[in-house]
Structure 1
């Protein structure tokens, strides 16, 4: 498998600027070495960085990987989010759009990766098209297979992908030590971060006077002692002392747990990954997801399944995998009880044997025994030899049995003799200090054999370890692919049409994401709310002959009633443009030409201070004179200053915007009629006034509003309808007050 086959990506293009891992922002020496160790060469590593795939490299998080991918994109494409989303308000709308998509992401990877996508400028049309082709397949896939996959609990399986552990919380092994006299070995231990996982000591043979005594000390204090180096002839023979030539050193041979525990800790997630693969394979969907299916190596996946079947969820080797390991493990677990049973048997035997015998003692001995000044030790001198022999024989029989139960080899059988207490007292208690020594020996035997078994298992697992990480990366990419398709399917989105020779946009059936989201949530809670009303809107030369009343204009003034939907209209249009320029499915049916810059100005909560007012005006001068293709969404910009000056300020801004053919804008305003008096005939040809108007009140006194803007129509704000509603509701005093005001409108 080539490196470019190790991950799924969007189109992979050669960079416009040249850089290397050496000067890549955010990549230091340690990460650079990890990348070069994992990938065959620097070029392959950079390609993996480009698509955010280096999260499968041990020691690099997915968050880091996606940050590197973002940096790579900005360097090679020479564009960043702040270049396109210019004002804080348009960035806020972008964040809200991302927030809606995030709800359909099952993994943190997908949520993080969404931030790699932001609206692209007009000179990135080809890249937008490539993204559209990719995400079109995701829509088609979800529409075709989502119900089938939902019934199989597919979303839950994808959610499990978040839980893969790469040994980040690996506990330090304190019962094993690595000893070396080699700088090469020490460097390897540091580079692979093995030094943080195991006790390590550097030695110098020239300063050791007695090798046997020196290594015996380590052998007694550690269960497993590993010498890794090239002077094996200087290493004495101890049962728990293992020699590894430096040429054979690896993570598998030194710390096999690092690989084994990855498989054990991830046993459940590996099973989920296999089920995901099986589900996708069974769909036989070559057309839409072949770029994922082609990476599913059934032979390796079968090996993954077999490998995890020998481990528990803590990375421990299950029983019945190695009979000797099972035997040593059982003995170590039962050591204390076996010693206790041996003591009980010895004492029972002594008591039984002596109780059944007649022991003779001479009269003079009796007289000596009844002396008052005799110590216990002196009394022992009068115990007949046959009793001593009986006790000694019984102890030896008990220890012989214990030796067999502990399965000690000939070289270790003398250890049980050390358990005989120095002073024989009844009941017999075996030497506790020597019991500890023997237990340490039993533990060392278990862990030494367990280590050798783990080395074999780790060697087998290492062959599939890389594929495990690759498969995980592929399935995370699939979750991202599936996320976009699910989001688009739920919200009824489609791939917009890019118009390269026309400018502006034209959209029909545009439904605001907030309104659609509420409807979807209410459906889940079984509320029967009406469907949100989709709108049609247009700006620039992107038109449709089916709607003849549309007059192409680069600047639109949106007028109409309070609470009629003007703000919602420009918010919806901005959402549509943002999604479209991200290369994502967008609202309704949309035709557009990408803008280089997007601006949005929310309605001011009050008149701006002199400084803020000045800053806003300067910003409009700057954006109006910029040669970049741009669109401005502004909500009641007149609120930034006092009413008398507002129309003059807006007229000046519009006049400045119209001087540059690359300026497009939609302005919500209540001053349309007043502004018209300030427009020249030429300006009126470039400005279209549209309206959203309330026509009355329904039986519940709610405004009756056609949310769809009427083109070339100045809509009234109709405050009298609001007054009518207030005059028909509330207390008698309120009704009287508002009726009085309403009469003023009727004269």
Structure 2
């Protein structure tokens, strides 16, 4: 795939996307999370790039939403779907679903949506989804207790590039290895020349190290699972709650994750925990052991009478003996007991094994001294021994754990990806349920195969037909919305009283058409429509336009009249652009042109009668009829009546007054409306 051929992708972005493991798959599937891993690509940018790739794949020219109001409708219905996602990924992924005139794209999303609306938005699944996030790379992992050793400068450079997690040292011979072994718990010699060399310390000769970096640095694999553990565990919960099929061994993955701490260290090994605790507590344990010995000696000195003959004292003084020598003869046994107590305390406090205990015993010498003091060299050696033993065991455990987890990375990534995609499906399912949606049917040789035969006055495959439509754009609860039936083939005027629902009807039609061309379910009992090339929705203009704005508006309709075949045109009270008399003539002319070029159009107007008289053909006029006034409030039939010019609010008021009074005046006024 030539990345720069994608709309909106330049050379710099293409280079960034090329760093991904499989950019083509991510682009084709709309995998926003994968695309967002590319350097400098945010999730929002990733969604736009995915849309561009989808348009290119389906040869979609774009521009279906031809006016600002049409784009507003799209943003509003998309927002209703996004509100029903749990994850940020789900919301961004929905951004890749857009209204398209292309049959292949509509059918592609319809296939996805039909499966989605069968999903059950179980609360347990939605709760589990809250913890799922796209998997993230951990970046560089630094390992300090291990190093690579080589005598070759070229191997040095290759090692730095292949295994950046470890320090790489240059040595000249086996003596250099021995010196490294005193500073590192493990030294890995990567030159064949070191085979057979024996030095003190943990020195491994691995000429194949650069070909098997995961064995040398198991932290690389483990870090991925440690960093993403919460998301992986949440994805496991999602699959179990939703009973999703997966090729991932959930129990094995769960067991592996239980062996990883958040910092990438190995969890659940008692021996490793013992060694780690011993290293951490060594200083405190040695200090406590000193206190045990000295407390014992102080108590012994307080309680024991020491008698020294004069000749003995003189002899000791002449020999230059100090207090320790004077006490050693009388308190030798007590000193031995004190030191033994200190040694046992140190061994017990650190839970040392036999070999470690032998070294620990040398922390306190047999030669009497007061106060009793540690041998710092012995403490240092004990610390080094415990640290090296801990690191060797941890490395071995990490290697075993990394081997267990390495084969699960691909399936774990799919596990999270599928959980995130489930969020998208459940959002569509929730939208469909909340607004009692159904899948629309495209007709008339477009994205479907049926005909829109004479429904609501339509003829073979043109226009739209909505049964029981409930606009999701209304702020009222669904149960309070009166269902609307409306269909148009060709061009129609929509008349009706103020506040009778004409604009809401246009919004319903626009919302249904946008959702249908997105491939999504629509809020109605049944919808049949043609596959439109574009949607032009012109909202109501506030006030009369000046000459320049009026000219611009007329030019827009001129372009539409010339190239609007297959378009749906919705216009709300265009007459407000200029004087009523001129407006009727202009609208009549626009309707004539749209009818001639095969567009479908609905124009809301209070001048429907005047426009019909101006037109050179029989314009269809539909009406949202007010059936009367009840306590001063209009009672309206929200579904437009075909071929019916709706009565105005003033006519209804005059009719009400005429019914309530015998005055001839009201009757004469009422006759003017006939």
Q: TM-score, normalised by structure 2?
A: 0.79
Say yes or no: does 1:102 pair with 2:45. no
Aligned to 1:85: 65
Matches within 5 A, 1:178-577: 178-179=147-148, 181=150, 195=164, 198=165, 200-205=166-171, 211-212=176-177, 214-215=179-180, 218-219=183-184, 232-233=194-195, 237=199, 239=201, 244-247=206-209, 250=212, 252-264=214-226, 267=229, 269-281=231-243, 293=245, 296-297=246-247, 300-311=249-260, 316-319=265-268, 322-352=269-299, 354=301, 356=304, 358-360=306-308, 362=310, 383=326, 386=329, 397=340, 401=344, 402=346, 407=352, 417=362, 426-430=370-374, 435=379, 438-439=382-383, 441-501=385-445, 502-515=461-474, 518-520=476-478, 531-540=480-489, 554-577=490-513
Instruction: Give deviations 1:415-443, integer Å, cap 9, x for gaps.
Output: 8757779x997433436797567545533
Distance 1:387 1:249 in 2: 67
Give the alignment's Cα RMSD to 1 decimal: 4.4
| 3-state secondary structure, aligned to 1:599 | strand
Distance 1:69 1:309 in 2: 36
8 Å CA contact 1:110–1:480 kept in 2: the answer is yes
**Mapped partners of 2:545, 2:375: distance in 1:** 90
For 2:196 and 2:542, the matched residues in 1 are separated by 83
Q: Residues 166 and 180 of structure 1: is their aligned pair in 2 closer, same or farther, counting only changes over 3 Å?
A: farther
Give the count of matched residue pairs: 634
Deviation larger for 391-400 or 607-616:
391-400
Following TM superposition, by how much is the alpha carbon of 1:585 offset from its aligned partner in structure 2, in angstroms? 1.5
- Kept in 2, the 8 Å contact 1:342–1:399? The answer is yes
> Which residue of structure 2 lines up, in the alignment, with residue 697 of structure 1?
629
Q: Deviations over 1:711-739 (max 9, x none)?
A: 122224424768999xxxxxxxxxxxxxx
- Name the SS for the 2:597 alignment partner: coil
| 1:264–1:315 Cα contact (<8 Å) kept | yes
1:265 to 1:46, Cα distance in 2 relative to 1, 3 A: closer
Unaligned runs of 5+ in 1: 1-14, 37-44, 282-291, 370-376, 521-529, 541-553, 726-741
Name the TM-score, length of structure 1 as normaliser: 0.72
Aligned to 2:661: none
Where 2:523 maps in the other structure, the secondary structure is coil
Alignment partner of 1:633 is 2:570: yes
How far off is 1:406 after superposition? 6.3
How big is each residue's C-alpha offset from its partner over 1:542-591, in whole Å with a ceiling of 9 and x where there is no partner? xxxxxxxxxxxx22221211111110001100111111111211232111
How far 1:641 moved relative to its partner? 3.4
Aligned match of 1:604 = 541
Unaligned ranges ≥5, structure 2: 446-460, 657-665
Q: CA 1:16–1:441 in structure 2 vs 1: closer, same or farther (change >3 Å)?
A: closer
Deviations along 1:471-504, whole A, 9 cap, x unmatched? Answer: 2222322332333233223322112221134222
Give the 3-state SS of the residue equivalent to 2:427 in structure 1. Answer: helix
2:636 is the alignment partner of 1:671: no
Q: Is the alpha carbon distance of 1:743 and 1:340 closer, same or farther for their aligned partners in structure 2, counting shifts above 3 Å? A: farther
Aligned mates of 1:204, 1:494 — CA distance in 2: 70
Q: Is the 8 A contact 1:559 1:691 kept in 2?
A: yes
| Mapped partners of 1:96, 1:188: distance in 2 | 55
Work out whether residues 465 and 529 of structure 2, in 8 Å CA contact, stay in contact via their aligned partners in 1.
yes
Of 51, 58, 83, the match for 1:70: 51
CA drift at 1:353? 5.0
Question: Residues 632 and 666 of structure 1 are in contact (CA less than 8 Å); yes or no, is this contact kept in structure 2?
Answer: yes
- Counterpart check, 1:586 vs 2:559: no
The question of whether the paired residues in 2 share the 8 Å contact of 1:703 and 1:721 is answered with no
Q: Secondary structure at the match of 2:97?
A: coil
